[in-house]
Amino acid sequence: MRRMRNVKIVATLGPSSDDYDTIRRLFEVGADVFRLNMSHGSHDEIRERHTIIRQIERELGRPIAILADLQGPKLRVGVFAGDSEELVEGAAFRMDLDPTEGDSSRVCLPHPEIFKALRPGASLLVNDGKIRLRVEKCGEDFANCTVVTGGTISNRKGVNVPDVVLPVAALSDKDKADLEFVCELGVDWVALSFVQRPDDVLQTKELVNGRAAVLSKIEKPAAVEAYDDILAVSDGIMVARGDLGVELPVQAVPPIQKRLIRGARAAAKPVIVATQMLESMIESPMPTRAEVSDVANAIYEGADAVMLSAESAAGEYPLEAVRTMDAVAVEVEKGQMYRDIIEAARVVDRTSTADSIVAAAREIAENTGVKAICCFTHSGTTALKTARERPRVPILALTPFTATARRLCLSWGVNCFMTHGDVSRFKMAVVSAARAARQGQFADSDDNVVVVAGVPFNIPGSTNILRVAPCDERLIFNTDPE
């Protein structure tokens, strides 16, 4: 079951992948994290998928991460008398709070918070940006617009407002109910939609109260502008390219993606690249060459994980999509070009003892033939800092906490092991590391590993010791007087 790659694969579950056999096969062929999309499916369906994942986890003895993705507030137009209308470029069109059915000249937009934030010159995008309106005049209950890009507008199509920060909370009433449900259920990560400011994340973390890690989806221009502040209070990041590509010029998304990935890596926080990665595989068993290049580029950029959405949730070929993503990752990572790019982007940050210890561990491992870096971690910080270094050898994270092991499944190159028994003494920690390296087939008894830990144990963030140790326990006991 050892993965032959470092980047992780996130697979969304849905109608095509909601039974035991399919979910187990998805994990076996390469999925590391399962995403539960709260926009689709009842609580009973979500609970059943969660139960199946945990059953598979117990059977295989491998921690598996579960990510619950909150829907976020949905801004939509009202309805039309004829269900739809054609808007012509250059024509006038009005949006207002009048609930009567719309026509070719107006429609209800039942969101007074939008009107309060609008200003002349702002854009309103309808139906994933297919229709673009420019605001000419606006008040607290209306916006008179000019059609910049025409097309068909129909009942309850979504509206995006890219130019202003909306006074809308990231958590709707539905999101709050879903959040409490998944936290009680026991998910490992919660993905927060509609993030515009750091306060959105902080309010969510207050409700989560440590029961899960919070991942911020960067999908709005306001979030891109406030990225550094949002990153500082988030546990992880998702580059949600779908809405980014609607609210920003499409040509702006690739450089933004690179900047977001590099920032998250520098902060030692996992980052997922999502949306339309293998979109054609919803209906085809083979991806396009452009899609393969897209996945490869995200891996070259140093992403911790790449994500499948409808490909695995509703597509006809969920297993093939995971296999394809796995194959692309293996091929990319075995090339020298990948190492050159990853190492050129390494951030030199030696502001703490822990930073220096994990950097030294990477140097030793790469220059002395050591087979793996073994990190003892309670909160996950040591493993995250080691992953930031992007070493050439595997990272083994050993922890007594199931929640920590599961959350680390999202991080680049981290292989998680549960520790059992007494590891309060460093010698026994070294023994546990040697056993894990052998059992996981990362090393043989005549190999060495680097062991990184904090002494005394049980103090998060206290990484302060490094040792090169043999994988033969007899040598450990014969050479260590402890």
The CATH number of residue 116's host domain is: 2.40.33.10
Does 35 qualify as catalytic in the annotation? yes
Taking the CA atoms of 335, 411, 472 and 440 in sequence, report the sign of the dihedral they define.
Answer: negative
Q: What pLDDT, on a 0 to 100 scale, did the predictor assign at position 476?
A: 64
pLDDT at 337 over 90: yes
Does 217 qualify as catalytic in the annotation? yes
> What's the CA gap between 366 and 462, in Å, rounded?
24
Same domain, 93 and 187: no
Domain boundary among 340, 362, 384: 340
Is position 79 within any domain? no
Domain boundary among 140, 160, 180: 160
Higher pLDDT, 426 or 170: 170
Span 6-44, pLDDT tens digits = 999 999 999 999 999 999 999 999 999 999 999 998 999
Same domain, 376 and 449: yes
Is position 345 within any domain? no
Same domain, 63 and 186: yes
Does 5 qualify as catalytic in the annotation? no
User: Which is catalytic among the residues 76, 157, 176, 211?
Assistant: 76
Q: What pLDDT, on a 0 to 100 scale, did the predictor assign at position 481?
A: 47
Number of domains in the chain: 3
Is position 2 within any domain? no
Span 342-364, pLDDT tens digits = 999 887 766 788 899 999 999 99
Distances (CA, A) of 241 to 36, 307, 337, 417: 18, 11, 25, 33
Q: What pLDDT, on a 0 to 100 scale, did the predictor assign at position 180?
A: 98
Span 91-119, pLDDT tens digits = 999 999 999 999 999 999 999 999 999 99
pLDDT band at 160; cut points 50, 70, 90: very high
User: Which is catalytic among the residues 217, 388, 407, 438?
Assistant: 217
Q: What pLDDT, on a 0 to 100 scale, did the predictor assign at position 464?
A: 82
pLDDT at 126 over 80: yes
Q: What pLDDT, on a 0 to 100 scale, did the predictor assign at position 196?
A: 96
Q: 456: cis peptide before it, omega within 30°?
A: yes
User: Which is catalytic among the residues 5, 8, 35, 438?
Assistant: 35
Does 76 qualify as catalytic in the annotation? yes
Same domain, 378 and 475: yes
pLDDT at 455 over 80: no
Please give the share of the chain, as a percent, with pLDDT higher than 70.
Answer: 95
CATH code where residue 412 lies: 3.40.1380.20
User: Which is catalytic among the residues 220, 265, 269, 275?
Assistant: 275
Same domain, 50 and 197: yes
> What's the CA gap between 298 and 9, in Å, rounded?
12
Is position 222 within any domain? yes
Q: What pLDDT, on a 0 to 100 scale, did the predictor assign at position 223?
A: 96
Taking the CA atoms of 202, 207, 210 and 213 in sequence, report the sign of the dihedral they define.
Answer: negative
* Across 295-317, average pLDDT: 97
Domain boundary among 112, 135, 160: 160
Q: What pLDDT, on a 0 to 100 scale, did the predictor assign at position 461?
A: 62
> What's the CA gap between 20 and 26, in Å, rounded?
10
Same domain, 420 and 295: no
Same domain, 382 and 442: yes
Rounded to two decimals, the pTM is: 0.94
Q: What pLDDT, on a 0 to 100 scale, did the predictor assign at position 479?
A: 58
* Across 64-89, average pLDDT: 96
Q: Phi and psi for 45 in degrees, rounded to 5?
A: -65, -40
Same domain, 68 and 91: no
Helix crossing, 318-333 with 20-29: angle to 10°?
A: 10
Q: Are strands 131-139 and 123-126 parallel, antiparallel or unpaired?
A: antiparallel
Is position 375 within any domain? yes
Tell me which of 50-59, 319-328, 350-359 is least confident: 350-359
Contacts of 407 (CB under 8 A, 6+ apart): 65, 188, 189, 213, 235, 380
Same domain, 210 and 152: no
Is position 17 within any domain? yes
Is position 77 within any domain? no
Q: What does the mean pLDDT of the chain come to?
A: 94
Same domain, 211 and 244: yes
Same domain, 236 and 325: yes
pLDDT at 458 over 90: no
Same domain, 330 and 436: no
CATH code where residue 34 lies: 3.20.20.60
Domain containing residue 145: 84-160
Helix crossing, 381-388 with 353-368: angle to 10°?
A: 50
Q: What pLDDT, on a 0 to 100 scale, did the predictor assign at position 475?
A: 67
pLDDT band at 480; cut points 50, 70, 90: low
Is position 284 within any domain? yes
Buried b (16+ CB within 10 A) or exposed e, 378-402: bebbbbbbbbbbbbebbbbbbbbee
